[in-house]
Structure 1
Amino acid sequence: MPIAAIAADFHRRFGHEPLLVRAPGRINLIGEHTDYNDGLVLPAAINKEIFFAVGLNGSDTVRLVSFDKADAYDVAVADVAPSKHLWANYLLGVVAQFQKHGVAVPGFDCVFGGNVPMGAGMSSSAAIECGLAFALNELLHTGFDRMTLAKMGQQAEHTYAGVMSGLMDQFASLHGRAGHVVRLDCRSFDYEYFPFAADQYHLVLCNSGVKHSLASSEYNKRRQECTQGVAVLQKTHPEIKSLRDATLAQVEAAHDAMGDVVYRRCRYVVQENQRVQEACDALKANDMAAVGQAMFGSHAGLRDDYQVSCPELDALVEMARPLPGVLGARMMGGGFGGCTINLVAVAEVDAFVAAMEKAFELRYHDKLETYHTVIVGGVSELRDATVAA
């Protein structure tokens, strides 16, 4: 969707000049459900984006417009609170975070819309939060750095959307770098960029068509199960503060005390952190086959130990596995639906998409949606309303 359409709608509704911002969604190459366990993740910002036109309006009212939903929501700055307009809550939560940081947020107008598919695991919610946070930071000259903005977006999701998400999604949207994946250490918040061989391999997403809601009870339940596992480990290893601190041997030794379900959750997280490190080492060596094997291993763990996959996602991974040029595939995102991410040799991408579409149609009698992603930079201002995406 061209930013021009968003800007034109803003001018038509509000009649003043806005700041224009793009905020990307993200993929995660590997490192799933590790972020809220102080672990490692390896995301990248992609060319599926939310666009914003935002401007101060000289009043004490916040006027929000969802371009895609053709819906609007107005509220006095002093009355900002979670609303029944679910889409508005992601934005209102950001306003509340600025207020919590001591910023007297004045009235502003905002029109937003984009092409991040909802419920496909590309973090449309984080893009919405980070885009507005960036815009307000610019307009109000508050000087927050990108990591602070990411944490504000995460807190907005916790408090206004009720999803206890980790930091990865907001971090990736704000810190993306073109042609690179970025490893984030969710314990120290240190991060490092790794070049992705985009001239040789592309990342293709296949949408299961199963809509998931991160707010589902299962997501928060997994967090609770991990917390239970840490509590068991702390009885014999008080130095363990999160699963990031635990070794596989320690988790194995606590199997009986944890019970089988909690044990499997913890085993997955410890092994997934190891797979992220293996993938980073492989990227440095340009060993993309090893990256792909780590992805397959990640999916098996998510399916069998963490139990957040679904039959459609499992089928997509198995359809991809034997195809020429496919080095790796796994489910991506919170789970229970959304997309698989597939590492495919450039020369085989078209044949891969055709084969996946055919196999999916045969099995599910439905058309497979695929997304050919390009790794892009993080949230930024757009200087020209004619820029399209």
Structure 2
Amino acid sequence: MTLTKELGESFERRFGHPAEHFFFSPGRVNLIGEHTDYNGGHVFPAAISVGTYAAVSLRDDNEIHAFSANFKDAGMVSFAKDDLKIRQYDSWVKYVRGVISELSKLGHEVPRGFNLAIVGDMPTASGLSSSASLELLIGVMLNDLFDFGMDTLSLVKLGQAVENDYLGLQTGIMDQFAVAFGQEKQAIFLDTNTMDYEMVPADFGDYELVIMTTNKKRELVDSKYNERRAETQKALEELQAVADINSLGDLTTEEFEKIVDHISSPVNQRRARHAVAENERTVLAKKALSEHDMKRFGELLTESHNSLRDDYEVTGIELDTLVSAAMAQPGVLGARMTGAGFGGSAIALVAKSEADNFAAAVGKVYDEKIGYQASFFVADIVDGTHAL
């Protein structure tokens, strides 16, 4: 049974009538370009086939009744459509409140209530952007249902505003952009300075991209994400005293090394070094993938992980164990953490001929060292958030 069919049946059981509309919103994997989106650099994400599904019907009153199969303990949550203050006890429904709140700031008032059921097949805390997937799902759904007329980029910015202004997390725009603008079998090469982007065929030839999830519990809001952002911002401000730059992404590694001593903190020097070098790696990776140079593409993935481990310090034992175990397997060209880090997921570029043995071998190493199991899957690259 498909998830959509299951969701439809669940909706009808809970609300006593069939759903009127269905929507799907993908997760995303970032091929390379980590912690560059808020540093004015390039990112290289793609929308993936695991994500979030919604079934919805309109109500004749002002109430919103919402249920998520992934958060059964939260039960059915009911609230008035103008009751938008964030609650400490809110779980997933804070994203529904957040989207409606940010829509109202733009002059888009939700005119009536609705019944909503959600299910996702993305591992929670996987670093595959379950939050951006949900934000765009709710945003696209309300935009469609109430004819707000918002274009895709406006919906992307709406999702980012939920993170930044409603939830207080200083994330960049990559996750929402990838979830919304994704195209089947295409990766998105995005310049976060200008929002110019280019679709690049995600053709890995005789290799496939295996996603490895740590299954470590983490929440981005509770992580050191904001701390890293503050560190690179401080480094940028000190460099701006001697260089005419708007972001760290404006510098080449060669230019950076000439002025790095103007950053007073050795820690912040390392943080900035990662941002500059990762931007360069992302440009090179786009070139390698476009030219089907899988060996070079894989090398850049591994270099990215090493930089995130040593200079940015956002990997941790779980991700490092997955990546080192992956690199020890036959037919692997490269591996790296993906997403914000501190847990979440990693990716590996694995020869299709070795893929069957890969997960078992890496999983065994991980289980022995970490004490619980990792998850492995190959995700298709798909279209962005849309009605079904």
Alignment of 1:147-166 (within 5 A): 147-166=153-172
Give the distance between the partners of 1:198 and 1:140, measured in 2 at CA.
40
Q: Paired residue for 1:80? A: 84
CA contact (8 A) 2:215 2:373 kept: no
Give the distance between the partners of 1:79 and 1:368, measured in 2 at CA.
39
Between stretches 94-103 and 158-167, larger displacement belongs to: 158-167
Q: Within the alignment, does 1:308 sit opposite 2:309 as a pair? A: no
Q: Paired residue for 1:255? A: 261
CA contact (8 A) 2:47 2:182 kept: yes
Deviations 1:88-107 (A, max 9, x none): 11121111121111112122
Between stretches 191-200 and 324-333, larger displacement belongs to: 191-200
Q: What is the identity, as a one-letter code, of the residue corresponding to 2:49?
A: N
Q: Paired residue for 2:190? A: 184
Q: Paired residue for 2:10? A: 9
Q: Paired residue for 2:284? A: 278
Question: TM-score scaled to structure 2, two decimals?
Answer: 0.94
Match of 2:66 among 56, 60, 64: 64
Q: What is the identity, as a one-letter code, of the residue corresponding to 1:244?
A: G
Q: Paired residue for 1:387? A: none
CA contact (8 A) 1:89 1:160 kept: no
Q: Within the alignment, does 1:240 sit opposite 2:245 as a pair? A: yes
CA contact (8 A) 1:7 1:18 kept: no
Q: Within the alignment, does 1:174 sit opposite 2:180 as a pair? A: yes
Task: Summarize the Cα distance change of 1:30–1:99 in structure 2 as closer, same or farther, 3 Å threshold.
Answer: same
CA contact (8 A) 1:202 1:373 kept: no
CA contact (8 A) 1:55 1:139 kept: no
Task: Summarize the Cα distance change of 1:198–1:282 in structure 2 as closer, same or farther, 3 Å threshold.
Answer: closer
Question: TM-score scaled to structure 1, two decimals?
Answer: 0.94
CA contact (8 A) 1:10 1:18 kept: no
How far has the Cα of 1:333 moved from its partner?
Answer: 1.1
Q: What is the identity, as a one-letter code, of the residue corresponding to 2:5?
A: A
Q: What is the identity, as a one-letter code, of the residue corresponding to 1:104?
A: E
Unaligned 5+ runs, structure 2: none
Task: Summarize the Cα distance change of 1:363–1:104 in structure 2 as closer, same or farther, 3 Å threshold.
Answer: closer
Give the distance between the partners of 2:186 and 2:27, measured in 1 at CA.
15
Q: Paired residue for 1:336? A: 342
Alignment of 1:40-51 (within 5 A): 40-51=42-53
How far has the Cα of 1:340 moved from its partner?
Answer: 1.2
Give the distance between the partners of 1:45 and 1:357, measured in 2 at CA.
25
Q: Paired residue for 2:97? A: 92
How far has the Cα of 1:16 moved from its partner?
Answer: 5.1
Deviations 1:255-281 (A, max 9, x none): 253321111101100100000000000
How far has the Cα of 1:198 moved from its partner?
Answer: 4.6
**Cα RMSD between the aligned structures?**
1.6
Alignment of 1:25-44 (within 5 A): 25-44=27-46
Q: Paired residue for 1:204? A: 210
Unaligned 5+ runs, structure 1: 383-389
Q: Which runs of 4+ in 1 moved over 6 A?
A: none
Between stretches 253-262 and 93-102, larger displacement belongs to: 253-262
